[in-house]
Amino acid sequence: MYKENLERIKSKSAVIGIIGLGYVGLPLAKSFTDKNIRVIGLDIDKKKVSLLKKNISYIKHISNKVIISMKKAKLFRASNDFSQIKNTDVIIVCVPTPLTKFREPDLSPILDTAKTISRYLKKGQLIILESSTYPGTTNEKLANVLALSGLKKNKDFYLAYSPEREDPGNKYFNTSTIPKIVGADTTKELNLAVAVYSGVIKSVIPVKGTRTAEAAKLTENIFRSVNIALVNELKVIFDAMEIDVWDVIDAASTKPFGYMPFYPGPGLGGHCIPVDPFYLTYKAREYGITTKFIELAGEINTSMPFFVVSKISKALNDSA
């Protein structure tokens, strides 16, 4: 089964199933179809599937013409029928990973998807998780639910983790040109996963295990969160001193080493940066570790909307 699936992947005759057709899944589907690889896109959102069937894109940087082209070539179809999983060789999971109201990981989208996959899982299939999550999710949580199928990991089915690195609307990088981290816990699983992405992505970087790949994704976004918090705090300090923080950043940026510019703002946008740091915070508690630095950064970034509103309020009062 392993050799047969690896050969299908390398020859680009494998069918890729992508679960979750949002800002990660749909551009990924395009990357595969660009290389003449067939994709079945699955989503529980009937509205998204209906729009795609009508050749309408709901993602700004993917035009309707792109959807038409993917379908005209008979390389892509969207569906709510998850029994189509049986017709795929590779299943890539691109579902959201939100937080609960207590700022703890909500893995229900991943685990519910895994339960659905387990009902249709067949021998030889490779499942890849792309959703941002804490170390251990793939090889523990996801693997255990998939085992409900009665099939055994690394014997009957294979599992890997490859974190999404989408930056919607970026003029310089897209899904196919952003280096792709791939982690798996056995040689066979890693070989399969690397082969999948090597066919469509310029640079694929294998790492030691799913936990390393999961940790790398969180590290990327925690780095940004902490540095944004730092510059937000500096903005508040310099504002009190009547120093323009933008002038300070421009000046500091002239140093050719040891400095990377970050910019203040009214808080954190997007899905990843406000959420991902707390996935590591949650997991660290299992080891008795308090993530003071990460949590402080979260507090600073969360406070910025109030600072901005107070500045606007003062400016309006002064102009009245």
Q: Which residues contact 89 (CB under 8 A, 6 or more apart)?
A: 5, 8, 9, 14, 15, 16, 124, 125, 126
For 59-92, the DSSP string reads STTS-HHHHHHHHHTT-EEEES-GGGGGG-SEEE
Give CA separation, 227 vs 12, 233, 267, 272, in Å: 41, 10, 13, 15
Residues in the chain, total = 320
User: CA dihedral in degrees (22, 123, 203, 208; nearest 10)?
Assistant: 110
User: CA dihedral in degrees (115, 117, 120, 121; nearest 10)?
Assistant: -110
| Distance, CA of 262 to CA of 30 (rounded, Å) | 32
Instruction: Tell me the H-state helices in the chain.
Output: 2-10, 25-34, 46-53, 64-72, 108-120, 143-146, 187-198, 210-240, 245-252, 272-285, 292-319
Rounded to 10 deg, the angle between the 210-240 and 272-285 helix axes is 120
Q: Pick the catalytic residue from 91, 272, 294, 304.
A: 272
> Does residue 272 carry a catalytic annotation?
yes
DSSP for residue 157: B
| Distance, CA of 222 to CA of 219 (rounded, Å) | 5
Q: ∠ at Cα 10 (124, 193), nearest 5°?
A: 55
Tell me the two tokens of residue 68.
């038409």
Rounded to 10 deg, the angle between the 2-10 and 187-198 helix axes is 20
Catalytic residues: 272
